[in-house]
Structure 1
Amino acid sequence: MAEVIKIRKPLSISPLKTGQVLGATIAALGLADSMALMHAAQGCSSFAKAFFVRHFQEPVALQSTAMDPISTIMGSDGNVKKALDHLAKNSALHLVVVMSNGLSEAQGADLKRAIREFRVEYPQHEKLTVLTVNTPDFYGSLENGYAAVIDAVVNQLVEEKRSAQTRKKRINVLLGHSFTAGDVEAVQRLFEAFGLKPTLLPDISESLDGHLGEQDYSAVSLGGTGLSDIQRMGESIATVALGYSCHSGAKLLAQKTGVPSYYFDHLGNIEQCDRLIELLIELTGRQVPDYINRQRRQLQDAMLDCHNELNGVRIALAGEPELLGYWLAIARQVGLDEQVVVAPAQQSQLIEMPTEQILLGDFSDLREQLKVTPAEVLIANSHGQMLAQELGMSHILSGFPIFDYFGGFRQHRQLYAGIRDTLFELGNIVHQRHEHRDIYHSPLKQHWPEAASQRA
C-alpha cells in the first residue's frame, strides 16, 4: 500500500502531466479508418499535433473544430456540425471521434446534442459513425483520456446483449496506453499462437507502428480495430484487459454483453505473464508454444545475468500510473530501489502500488526530492532529460512523449521478451555508469605497416 501525497502549490513549473485529449487521440487512432476531431481552437490541435509528430515521426489524423472568440462566447455547436460535414466528404472515413478539451468544456459545449442536430441537418451523412468523448484538460491526465475513449467505444458502439452465437475462437483484448505498437504486435502473436482470433482494442500495431503506406498521405488512420469487429465483441468467449487504463472499459463490456472479463494490471513481471499463459491454456486447452517457453527461459537467464548489476540501484520514476505500475514490478523483480515516485494526477490504483510513497506533482517536485534522496537512474519521458543531465543521472525513456530517441514509440517492453530486453537495457546503462570499458586490443593483432616492410 502506497501513501499518496499531493504537492500543493499555485503553479506547475516543469509539467509532468499530459492532457486527457492526447490520451484520447492515441486511443482514437487505434480504430480503423478513423479521425480524431478536437472540439477546440485551432492552436490546441496544432500544439497536440506537434507532440504526436515528434513522438511517432509520422503525420497524425487529428483535426479541430476551430473555435474562435465569437463561437466560444456565443456557442460552438455550429463548428462541430460544419467540421463533421467537411470530414464526411472523405469517402475513406468511417469513424470520427469527437473530443472536448478545456476550452469547450469550460464553454459548456454539449457534444451529444450537437451530434443529434448534425444527424437532422445532414441526413446524407447517416453512414458516418460519430463517437463523443468528454476529455477536459483541467481534470486527470493522458490515462483518463485514453480510458474515456475505450469506455465510449463500449457504451456507444458495442451491441447491447451477448449474442446467442458465441464465436469460440474470438477473444476481446483491451490494451492499456502503456502498450506500444511493438507490445501490441507481441500480444497479438501470443493469442494467435493459441489458436485464437483476438479483437484488439485499440489496435495501434498497424496505425502507429511507423510504416510506409501505399499512398503518399492518408487523412484517416492506417489500420486499427474495425467497426464491425467492435460491434460483435459480445460474441467472444472472453475479454482480457491488459493495463489499468482499460479495466473500466472491460467492466462495462462485461455488464453490457455478459462476456466474462479477466484483468491484468501490466505484463511487467514473470508472475503476471505466467498468469496470462495459464488463462490461455484454460480457455483453449492447448499446450504452450515452444517460442513462449524459450522466451521465458531467456527472461530467467536475463534476470540472473543482470541481478548483480541491478540489485540495490537507486531509481526515480515519473509517469502515468499505469507505467509506474509496470516499472515498480520490474523493480521488485530485480531488486531496484525506487527513491522517488511521481505521478501527474490522482488515480484509484496508486494506493495499491508496491511502494511506500507516491507524490502527485511535476518534474520540479521530483528535482527537490532527488536533492534529498538522490538516485542513479531516472525513468521518465523526454521532458526528464534536462533534469537527468542537471543531476548527473542516467535516463531511460518511457512514456509519452519521446522525441529524442528513434523507435521509442514501438519499443517492446511487455511479456517475457519485452521484460528481458528491458532488463538488458537497465543493466547496460548501469554498467556504463559504474564501470567504463576500455577498447579491447587483441594481443594477436598484426601491425600492418611493419608486416608489409618485412615482406619487402
Structure 2
Amino acid sequence: MATIIKTGKPVATQPIKSGQALGAILAALGLDRTIPLIHGAQGCSAFAKIFFIQHFHEPIPLQSTAMDPITTVMGSDDNIVQALDTLCQKNQPKLIVLLSSGVAEAQGCDLRRALKLFRADYPRHDKVEIVTVNTPDFYGSLENGYSALLEALVEQLIPQQPVRNVRKKRVNLLLSHMLSPGDVELIRSYVEAFGLQPVLLPDLSRSLDGHLVRSDYLSVSQGGTDLALLKQMGQSALTLVVGPSLQRVGQLLESRTGVPCHYFPHLMNLQQVDCFIDLLRRQADRLVPEWIERQRGQLLDAMIDTHTWVNGRRFGLAAEADLLGAWLGFAQMVGLAPSCVVAPVNQPMLASLPVEQVLVGDLEDLADNLQAQGADLLLTNAHGAVIAERLGLPLLRIGFPVFDEFGAFRRVRQGYAGMRDTLFELGNLGQAACHHRPAYHSPYKQPVEQIRGRALAAEVIG
C-alpha cells in the first residue's frame, strides 16, 4: 500500500494535469463520425485543439458553444440549442458529444435540460444521437473525463437487456486512455487472431492512427467505433476492461446487459498479457497462434539482452494514475527501481501502487525529489524535457501530450511487442547515458587516398 502525500504548494508551477474536458474529447475522437461540442468560450475549444493537433499531427474536429460574458451571466441554453442545430445541419454527424467546461460548470448549466429543449424545438434532428457529460476542469483530470464519457455512452446509448441474444464470437473491449492507437491496434490483432470479433470502445486505432483518407476533409471524426456496434455491446459474450479507471464502466455495462466483465490493470508485464491471451484462447477454444508465441519469445530474449542496462536503474515517473500502474508493473518485471512517483490528482487506485509513497503534485515536485534522491531515467510527457535537460537525465516520453517527437502518439508499449521494443529503447538510453559509442571502423577498411592511388597506378599501367 502506497502512502499518498499531497504537495503543500498553493499553485502548480509546472503542471502534469490535463483537464477533464481533454479526456472526454480524446474518447469522443475514437467514435465514428462524431463531433465533440464543448459548452464554453471559444478559447476552451481552441486551447484543447492545440494540444491534440500537436500530439497527433492531425486535424481535430471540435466545436464550442461560444459563451461570452453576457451569456455566462444571463444563461446560455440558447447557445447550446443553436450550436446543436448548426452542427446537425452542416456536418451531419452520427453522434454529438456535448460536454461542459469549467466556465459552464461554475455558471451551473444543465446540459440535459438544454438537450430536451433542443429535441422539442428541432424534431427533424432526432436521428442524430447526442450524449451529454459533465467535465469540470476544477475537479479530476484527463483520466476522469475519459472514463466519464464512456459511462455516459453506456448509460445513454446501450439499452438495458434483461434477456439478451448472445453472440459467442463477439468480444467487447473497454480501453483506457493510456493505450495509444498503436497499442489498440495490437490488442485488436490479438483478439482477431483467435477468430473473435472485437468491439472496441473507443477505437483510436481507426481514427487517430495517422493515416491519409481518400475522401475530402470532413468536420467529423473519420473512423473509430461504429455507433451501431456500440449499441449492440449488450449482445457480446464477454467484456475485457483494460485500465483501472474503467472498472466502473465495466460494472455499469454488466449491470445493464449481463455481459460478464474481466478486468486487467494493464498489459505491460508478462503475467497480465499471458492472462489476457489465455482468456481469448479459452473463449475461442483455439490454440494460441504461432506469431503470438513468437512475440512472447522475442520479449523473453529482449529481457536477457538488455538486463545489464535496465535491471537496477532508478527512475522518476510522473503521469496519470492508469499509466503509473502500468509502468510500475513493467518496472517490477524487468527490475527497474522507482525513485519518485508523482500523480497530477489523487485517484482511488494510487494507494494500491507497489511503491512506498506517491506524491500528488507537479513536475517541479518531481524535479526537487529527483535532485535530492537521484535517478538514472525520467518518464513523463514532453513537458518533462526541460527538467531532463536541467538534471542531465535521459527522458522517455510517455502519456499526453508528446509534441516534440514524430510517431510518439502511436508508439506501442503494451503487449509482448510493446514491452519488447520498450526494453530496447531503455537499453539504448542506458548505454548512451553511460558512454557514447564511437563510430565503428572496420579493421579491413583501407584509406580513401590509398584506394585512389592504386586506381591511378592501374590507369597508367593500362
| Same fold flag (TM > 0.5) | yes
More displaced, 257-266 or 9-18?
9-18
Matches of residues 318-397 of structure 1 in structure 2 within 5 Å?
A: 318-397=318-397
1:23 aligns with 2:23: yes
- 2: CA distance, partners of 1:381 / 1:162: 44
Contact 2:34–2:220, Cα closer than 8 Å, also in 1: yes
- Whether the aligned pair in 1 keeps the contact of 2:171 and 2:238 (CA below 8 Å) is yes
- The correspondence of residues 248-327 of structure 1 with structure 2, limited to 5 A, is 248-327=248-327
Equivalents in 2 of 1:224, 1:163: separation in Å? 28
Instruction: Report deviation, 1:8.
Output: 2.2
Match of residue 6 from structure 1: 6
User: Residue in 2 aligned with 1:405?
Assistant: 405
- Give, in whole Å, the separation in 2 of the partners of 1:64 and 1:78: 13
Provide structure 1 residue ranges, at least 5 long, that are not aligned to the other structure. none
Q: Residue type of the partner of 1:433?
A: A
Task: Answer yes or no: is 1:421 the counterpart of 2:421.
Answer: yes
Contact 2:239 2:259 in 1 (8 A): yes
User: Secondary structure of the equivalent of 2:58?
Assistant: coil
Q: How far 1:454 sits from its partner (Å)?
A: 2.5
Q: Deviations over 1:287-329 (max 9, x none)?
A: 0000000000000111111111111111000000111111101
Which runs of structure 2 are paired with 1:208-287 in the superposition (5 Å)?
208-287=208-287
Is the contact made by 2:40 and 2:67 (CA closer than 8 Å) also made in structure 1? yes
Native 8 Å contact 2:35 2:97 kept in 1:
yes
What is the deviation of 1:247?
1.6
Counterpart residue type for residue 60 of structure 1? I
Q: Deviations over 1:388-423 (max 9, x none)?
A: 111111100000000000011100110000011011
Secondary structure of 1:293's match?
helix
Shift of 1:96: 0.3
Contact (CA 8 Å) 2:316, 2:377: kept in 1 or not?
A: yes
Q: CA deviation at 1:91?
A: 5.2
CA contact (8 A) 2:17 2:344 kept: yes
Give SS of 1:446's match.
coil
1:145 corresponds in structure 2 to 145
The one-letter code matched in structure 2 to 1:428 is N
Alignment of 1:161 with 2:198, yes or no, is: no
- Greater CA deviation, 216-225 or 157-166? 157-166
How much does 1:165 deviate? 1.7
Q: Distance in 2 between matches of 1:334 and 1:453?
A: 54
Indicate yes or no: 2:55 matched with 1:55. Answer: yes
Instruction: Quote the Cα distance in structure 2 between the aligned partners of 1:306 and 1:23.
Output: 35
Alignment of 1:9-88 (within 5 A): 9-88=9-88
Contact 1:184/1:205, CA 8 A, preserved across alignment: yes
Q: Distance in 1 between matches of 2:44 and 2:234?
A: 37
* One-letter amino acid matched to 1:131: V
Q: Matched residue of 1:237: which SS?
A: strand
- 2:118 is equivalent to residue 118 of structure 1: yes
Aligned to 1:173: 173
Counterpart amino acid of residue 245 in structure 1: S
Query: Counterparts of 2:216 and 2:417 in 1: how far apart (Å)?
Result: 34
- Residue 442 of structure 1 is matched in structure 2 by 442
What stretches of structure 2 of length at least 5 have no aligned partner?
A: 458-462
In the TM superposition, what whole-angstrom CA distance separates every residue of 1:78-97 from its partner, at most 9, and x where no partner exists?
Answer: 11110000000135411000
Q: Counterpart in 2 of 1:99?
A: 99
Q: Is the 8 A contact 1:163 1:235 kept in 2?
A: no
| SS, match of residue 438 in structure 1 | coil
CA–CA distance in 1 between the matches of 2:335 and 2:361?
26
CA distance in 2, matches of 1:306, 1:11: 41
Alpha-carbon distance in 1 for matches of 2:444, 2:131? 69
Identity %: 51
Q: Give the Å deviation of 1:164.
A: 3.0
Instruction: Determine if contact 1:363/1:384 at 8 Å carries over to the other structure.
Output: yes
User: Cα distance, 1:188 vs. partner?
Assistant: 0.7
Q: Is the 8 A contact 1:382 1:401 kept in 2?
A: yes
How far did residue 450 of structure 1 move? Answer: 1.6
CA contact (8 A) 2:164 2:234 kept: no
Query: What is the root-mean-square deviation of aligned Cα atoms in Å?
Result: 1.0
Q: Which moved more, 1:261-270 or 1:328-337?
A: 328-337
DSSP-derived class of the 1:431 partner: helix
Contact 1:22/1:48 (CA < 8 Å) preserved in 2? Answer: yes
Write the letter of the residue equivalent to 1:24. Answer: A
Question: 1:10/1:176 Cα in 2 relative to 1: closer, same or farther (>3 Å)?
Answer: same
Describe the superposition over 1:425-455 as per-residue Cα deviations: whole angstroms up to 9, x where unpaired: 1111011101211111111112233223224
The residue type equivalent to 2:265 in the other structure is D
CA distance in 2, matches of 1:163, 1:233: 14
Distance 1:451 1:197 in 2: 62
For 1:352 and 1:159, locate their aligned partners in 2 and report how far apart those are by CA, in whole Å.
34
Does the CA contact (< 8 Å) of 2:240 and 2:263 recur in 1?
yes
**Which amino acid in 1 is paired with 2:129?**
T
Contact 1:97 1:132 in 2 (8 A): yes
Contact 2:55 2:403 survives alignment (8 Å): yes
Q: TM-score, length-normalised on structure 1?
A: 0.99
Q: Does the 8 A contact of 1:30 with 1:204 survive in 2? A: yes
List structure 1 segments (4+ residues) > 4 angstroms apart after TM superposition: none
SS at match of 2:168: coil
Give the 3-state SS of the residue equivalent to 1:148 in structure 2: helix
Alignment TM-score, normalising by the size of structure 2: 0.97
Q: Which residue of 1 aligns with 2:460?
A: none
Deviation (angstroms), 1:163:
4.8
The answer to whether the 8 A contact 1:162-1:234 is kept is no
Matches within 5 A, 1:190-205: 190-205=190-205
Between 44-53 and 363-372, report the one with greater CA deviation.
363-372
Q: What SS does structure 2 have at the residue aligned with 1:173?
A: strand
CA contact (8 A) 1:194 1:284 kept: yes
In structure 2, give the amino acid aligned to 1:155: E
Residue type at the aligned position of 1:277: I
